[in-house]
Amino acid sequence: MVRARQPSPQTAAVLVALAETGDGWSHGYDLCRALDLKAGTVYPILIRLAERGHVETSWETDPPRGRPPRHLYRLSTAGAELARTVAEAARAAEGAPAPGAARLAPRPA
């Protein structure tokens, strides 16, 4: 029997924040600041989500002069579905819509 684990509140926050950007790419540092979470929390979450196919990653192609390229992150189709499920579970638990729930429509494949 496979047990489905609920994501941690931090993972749920990362998923919802990525869902709010739609198809856009996000920097890990920007997620840290927006969510008020430390890099030691956010980056392992992003790595795990990427390993499980919920997040797509890419390198910045045109960084500003004097700064190395940064990693970019966005939800995959499976990640968007997971984010929608997390938002619905939060809404059901609290009786109110989760932040960004309106933007959690599935992305075209």
pTM of this prediction exceeds 0.85: no
Overall average pLDDT of the 18-30 stretch = 91
Higher per-residue pLDDT: 17 or 95: 17
Average pLDDT, the chain: 85
Measured CA to CA, the distance from residue 14 to residue 17 in angstroms comes to 5
What are the phi and psi torsion angles at 72 (to 5°)? -120, 150
Domains with residue ranges and CATH for the chain: 9-96 (1.10.10.10)
